[in-house]
Chain A
Amino acid sequence: MKIIEVENLVKKFGSFVANDHLTFSVDEGEIYGFLGANGAGKTTAMKILCGLSAPTSGKVMVAGYDVYRQSEMIKKRIGYMSQRFSLFEDLSVWENFQFFGGIYGLAPAKIRERTTELLGRLGLESEKNQILGSLPLGWKQKLAFSVAIIHRPSIVFLDEPTGGVDPITRRQFWEIIYETANQGITVFVTTHYMDEAEYCRRVSIMADGKIVALDTPSNLKDKYNAANIEEVFLKIARN
């Protein structure tokens, strides 16, 4: 089943075309890498997929809902995490989960159950009363990811989730992403670490508002005769 379906998505700001006829789809349970240079139009497209911004034209369906008419339904079915927007630093770990669980309308008993389960998976049960601000960045990022999936969304959007994170934690983070995808939650991720692109099932690469390549990492490497995704990226961007 397709969890995201985009056909001829166009988004203009005045005369500037930020998204120029994007067409792609994402399968349920897939890890999809959304790559592109700065200014290529990734953030604009992500905002549209999250129901935060309306397209100028084109068809966009997310989790079975239409972004033009049902953006509020989309917001309930998605999770979102970025490097910049994280959790509340002055609240404890537990309080952060309560707060975001409440926002997504989960019953208190459900929030307790899922918080316990998610903290257990991270091995951070004993930290639940710690103030978030006192924890290492890597832990905060893992917690932010868990909070983003507390309501069991159909799809979770991760915007540069591992920026600035140490190399060991970065890899642990990707193991959590894999586990999540194995449970059927679709993962839509952007990153500037090209080695991470190889962990995705498929990646698309944007340039100047268009999707210029979309395939599995190994097919892209074959097609561009490249040793790794970084080379593919460079060949596309320097074209």
Chain B
Amino acid sequence: MSANISIQAANITKRYGDKTALDDISFDIAKGELFGFIGPDGAGKTTLFRIITTLLKPGNGIMTVEGLDTVKDYIKLRKILGYMPGRFSLYQDLTVEENLKFFAGIFKTTPEANYELVKDIYSQIEPFKDRKAGKLSGGMKQKLALSCALIHKPEVLVLDEPTTGVDAVSRIEFWEMLGRLRRSGITIVVSTPYMDEASRCDRVALMQNGKIMSIDTPEAIRNNYGRDLFAVKTDDTYRLLSDLRQYKPTRTAFPFGEHIHVSLADESVKTAEIISYLEAAGHSNIHISKIEPSVEDCFMEMMSTESSTREK
């Protein structure tokens, strides 16, 4: 195994009864990488993270983290892992400071010993250090949970959906913190259902139904979309969607905010033809432009392809 690899999954499968949560998954994550697993609920992200963090045994396959086997070497491995589970991990009846001391104590260290690593994050909640964790706002709890997962200076940090249910502003702030943390050289693995967060990662794996559909840099994923994509807008978005779906050359049409993203089955069709079709359908203020696909466009494209292959 290359010395450069932090996490390696080889043919990991996990079943619960007749449900397959993870279906023959393999990947390598490099040391120091900020790596994202992106997919909806039920994709298998949490199961995968529990296997990485030694809390669950894989059914088949081998998972190693920093060269240690997650099944055989779990005791050694737990010392170098930091884990922030999706459900809340703090002790609600302990204060902010007590939580941090407790988690440091478990790993036989003190908050002071590794303060430098958590300073950027913890200093934001330090003014409330005597407040019970249960009384903190969502954003502050998240910062405390991250501080607690970091306080023993882990080599690998695993964050399971840290931004789920978090508002748009706090999400951006959280990713800014991860970006700064990344510079300390720690390997960071994050899962999220928000497709727009992909661009914050060095590489991402797009997951659906226990499988990885694609694994690459966000740029490469967008470049592999492989078709022309158009953003269309008129005064009546709802009618525009149904009119575009009825348009013969249309392959896919999905709403994206005030625009509809359209790909064509017949790529020889000119935008002028689309405009005259929409004018004939009575639309006004028609705007159409060729755009770069987002990771969300790519994800939907892969979902459609996967389900049509399965049906065959």
A192→B255 contact, CB < 8 A: no
Contact in complex: A164, B40 (CB < 8 Å): yes
B77 CB to nearest A CB, Å = 29
Is B254 an interface residue, CB under 8 A from the partner?
Answer: yes
Residues of chain B within 8 A of A230, CB atoms compared: 168
Q: What are the residues of chain A within 8 A of B254 when measuring CB–CB?
A: 167-168, 171
B39 / chain A contacts, CB cutoff of 8 Å: 166
Stretch of A4-12, A50-58, A70-78, A193-201 that contacts chain B: A193-201
Determine how close the nearest CB of chain B comes to the CB of A228; give it in whole angstroms. Answer: 6
Q: By the criterion CB–CB under 8 Å, are B41 and A192 in contact?
A: no
**Does A217 make an interface contact (CB < 8 A)?**
yes
Residues of the A chain whose Cβ atoms lie less than 8 Å from the Cβ of B304? 168
Interface string of A165-202 (1 = CB under 8 A from B): 11111010011001000000000000011110111000
Q: Is A212 an interface residue (CB 8 A)?
A: no
Residues of A within 8 A of B169 (CB): 37, 233-234, 237-238
Least CB distance, A171 to chain B, in whole angstroms: 6
Which residues of the other chain, B, contact A168 by a CB distance below 8 angstroms? 254, 300, 303-304
Given known A-B contacts A195-B256, A198-B257, A234 and B168 have beta carbons under 8 A apart? yes
Q: Which residue of B lies closest to A134 (CB)?
A: B19
Residue ID in chain B nearest A233 by CB atoms: B168
Q: How many residues of B contact A (CB 8 A)?
A: 33
For the complex, is B265 an interface residue (Cβ under 8 Å from A)?
Answer: no
The tally of residues in A whose CB lies under 8 Å from a CB in B reads 35
Q: Which of B152-171 contact A (CB under 8 A)?
A: 164-171
Interface residues of B in 162-195 (CB under 8 A from A): 164-172, 193-195
| B255 cross-chain contacts in A, Cβ below 8 A | 171, 174, 195, 199
A166: chain B residues within 8 A (beta carbon): 39-40, 208, 299, 303
- Is A136 among interface residues, defined by CB-CB distance under 8 A? yes
- A234–B172 alpha-carbon span in the complex (Å): 9
> Given A192-B167, A199-B257, 16 other A-B contacts at CB below 8 A?
A136-B42, A137-B42, A166-B40, A166-B208, A167-B303, A168-B254, A174-B255, A175-B241, A192-B171, A195-B256, A195-B257, A198-B257, A218-B258, A229-B257, A234-B172, A237-B167
Task: State the A residues within 8 Å of B (CB).
Answer: 36-39, 136-138, 160, 163-169, 171, 174-175, 178, 192-195, 197-199, 217-218, 228-230, 233-234, 237-238
